[in-house]
Structures are given as structure tokens and as C-alpha cells.
Amino acid sequence: MHIELDADQRRLRDEIRQFLAAELPQDLATRVRHGQSISKEDQIRWTRILHARGWAAPHWPQEHGGTGWSLIQRHIFDVECRAFQAPVLSGFGFNMVGPAILRHGTAEQKAEFLPKILRAELWWCQGYSEPQAGSDLASLRTRAVREGDEYVVTGQKSWTSGAEIADWIFCLVRTDPTVQMQRGISFLLIDLNSPGISIEPLYAFNGKRLWNQVFFDSVRVPIAQRLGEEDKGWTVAKSLLGDERLMVSRVAENKRLLNRLREVLGQEQEGSRPLDQTTLIRRRLSELDIRLQALEMTSLRLLSEADKGGQVGAEPSMLKLKGSQLVQAMDELLVEAIGHWALPLDAGSTGSAVGPAYAEYIASGLFHHRGYSIAGGSSEVQHNIIAKQVLGL
């Protein structure tokens, strides 16, 4: 299937391609190609290269360092970045708290935080989930009590990705426990070096530090660090998604994975034939390709409707569900086909890899991508939303 871009879109695509060919450091591209993790230093390096071109935050307004691109133009940018194996920038600053500050921040908050996010000087993490508040987020209990011009925050956040390398955390806290759950919540920006904060690691089943628990023991937070009105943090958190809700399809990521899958399976042999020429693998690759095309068509339809000013309903739940399932299906085929090369290194061996470089991190990918069914709203919750709001059941 060929998707027609108009002349302006083709020009933009070519400009992006030229930039990536010239500016993307090859050591970073190689790490991404092999599925290796990207260090904070490397993320900073790439963020600053993009920022120098004005493309670190394409979705922000131009007056704050963005591009003013349409959703379709952003889609083109994402697809090209993934195709060139560019690292993905940390979403907490650029996609979450940045847009929230743009929409709800005071002039002082915008001036303080936005340039630091663009220059990769301030690293954020997200403090929403708690031990008893995940899918049912509004039941969160971390308490913020007002004392003069400060809040005193006490409680615990859970599953906080990246807190160990973050400078600040954006948090949902309960400021009024007497009203209906969604009403008494506020949105605070908190310096992780504040006295009273401690961070403990949470390890995934493959031994990697994927998350943290963040404990708040009478942490004093200036009221000036509240985003939006007191007790209206739920509105801030919901609006934080906005158009971003449409960028959850993982089309660009899936395109990269499918190309990678084809490349790798073309290099492996079954008897005298490349693996990607066997009937079974060809059928599996075609199935994945068809699912990807359906996902991209649906995503582009919704993006262009939104670009024309149409309302976004609950459809992004479909994109999130299908996009994450497709990533996982790609992983499964890769691991079924060449997983025997991957496990010895991934299981923590300090020896050298037993197979080709392209196989070293595929088990990591499989494990990591399982989290896509949970993070940002679990698949079961997406099914509920689709059933009620899209299908009207």
C-alpha cells in the first residue's frame, strides 16, 4: 500500500531525511537498531541536536520553541525518525508536563521550565500511580496540606519510571479529602532534591530497574509550584493528554520494527533458504504488515480529522490497544525465530554474545514491550472505553 503525500508533505519529509542523514550520530543509531538502551547522556546529546534545528518539541507552539506542524506533519517526522533509528526523546518533559505547563502554567512557570526542557537541562518523571491507585487513579491518597504559602506533602508514589535519573517530578496529590474523588486533587511540580523525599528502586522480572517508589515525608512545596487551580488537578491531568491522545498508535515504531524484522529474518537461514523466504515466515510477515496498514490508515484518518478541527472521541483507545498489541506480535515472531541467540546475554551473563549483534537485545525488547499493555491505561481499561464510548454497549 502506498500512502500519497502532497507536495508540501514530500518536501518536509525530504528535509527531515536530509537532516537525519547529516546529524544523527551513527553510534546512537546503531544502539537503537540493536535495541540497546540509550543512556541519559546520549538522550541529552540527541535532544540538543534536535533543539538546535528547532525540532526537539515539534508539537509545541512556535513561540515556545515548537514548529506549529499539523498532526500529519508530526506523523511524517515520527516515521522518518524511527526509520533512521533515532532515539525517542524522554516523553515526561516534552509530551506530558511541557504541554501541561503550556496550557495551564503561569508566565513565570513557562519562563522557568519550558526552555530547560527544550535544552534537556531538566529531567522529569511522572508521579501519578500509587500502591492503591492505578487504573482507578482518582482514589490516590498522597496528601498535600496547605501551610502558609507552601504545601506539606506526605505519601507514596509507585511505578515511577526514571525517578532515579530525574530532577523533578510532576505529581497528582489530594488537597481536599472531603469532596468527590476527582475534585480534591491538585497538580504539583516538585524538586526531587527537596528534603523529605526518598527514592527506592523497583525491579522488573528480568532484573532491570524499571521503576521506583517515591516517598514523601512532610515535603514542603511552594504554592507557586502548583500547576492550575487548587483542587482542579484532575482537569490538568486530563487536558495533558489533549491531541497527544491521538499520537499513541505506535505506527512509526511498528514500521521500524517490521523493517527490522524483515532485515533480520533475511539474514537467518533455514536450510539453504533465508528465513524470510519460508512459507510460514512469509505468511506471518504478511499478517503483521496487513495489521500495520490497517493501523496506519485508521491513525491517519483520525489525525486528518483532528487537523481539520474535528472532535477527538474515544477512538485513541483503539489506536493504543492495536498499536501495543502489534509491537508485541512483532516481538513474538522475532523471539520465536531467533530467540535462541538472545537469552544467554540477556539473562545477565557477563560473557560475550553467542549470536549475531542484531539478536542480543531481542529478549529485552519482548519483556519491555509487555508493559505497553499496562502503562498509560491498561488494555482491559481500553476495552471498557471502546465498548462503552465507541460501540455504545
Ligand X SMILES: Cc1cc2nc3c(=O)[nH]c(=O)nc-3n(C[C@H](O)[C@H](O)[C@H](O)COP(=O)(O)OP(=O)(O)OC[C@H]3O[C@@H](n4cnc5c(N)ncnc54)[C@H](O)[C@@H]3O)c2cc1C
> What residues make contact with ligand X under the rule CB under 6 A?
125-129, 134-135, 159-161, 371, 374-375, 378, 380-381, 384
Closest by alpha carbon to 119, among 57, 63, 161? 57
CB of 134 to ligand X, least distance (A): 2
Helix axes 316-346, 251-267, angle to 10 degrees: 40
> Least distance in Å: CB of 69 to ligand X?
27
**Rounded Cα–Cα distance for residues 52 and 216 (Å):** 37
Residue nearest to ligand X (CB): 134
Nearer to ligand X, 207 or 274 (CB): 207
Give me the half-sphere count of Cα atoms (radius 13 Å) on the Cβ side of residue 71.
Answer: 21
Our CB check for ligand X shows the closer of 130 and 268 to be: 130
Q: How far is the CB of 66 from ligand X (least distance, A)?
A: 24
Judged by CB, which is closer to ligand X: 336, or 380? 380
- CB 379 to ligand X: min, Å: 6
- Contact at 8 Å (CB) between 82 and 13? no
Report the nearest approach of ligand X to the CB of residue 210 (Å). Answer: 6
Phi, psi of 188, rounded to the nearest 5 degrees = -115, 145
Residue position matching grid coordinates 499496562: 374
- Kindly state the DSSP code that residue 35 receives in the 8-state scheme: T
Nearer Cβ to ligand X, position 105 or 127?
Answer: 127
Cβ proximity to ligand X, 134 vs 242, nearer residue:
134
For ligand X, give the closer residue by CB, 55 or 187.
187
Q: How far is the CB of 272 from ligand X (least distance, A)?
A: 42
Task: Give whichever of 188 and 281 is closer to ligand X, judged by the CB atom.
Answer: 188
| Terminal alpha carbon distance of the chain | 33
Minimum gap (Å) between residue 128 Cβ and ligand X: 3
DSSP 275: G
Tell me how far apart the alpha carbons of residues 227 and 237 are, in angstroms, rounded to a whole number. Answer: 10
Outline where the chain has alpha helix (H). 7-23, 26-33, 40-53, 71-83, 91, 98-104, 107-118, 233-239, 251-267, 279-307, 316-346, 362-370, 379-385
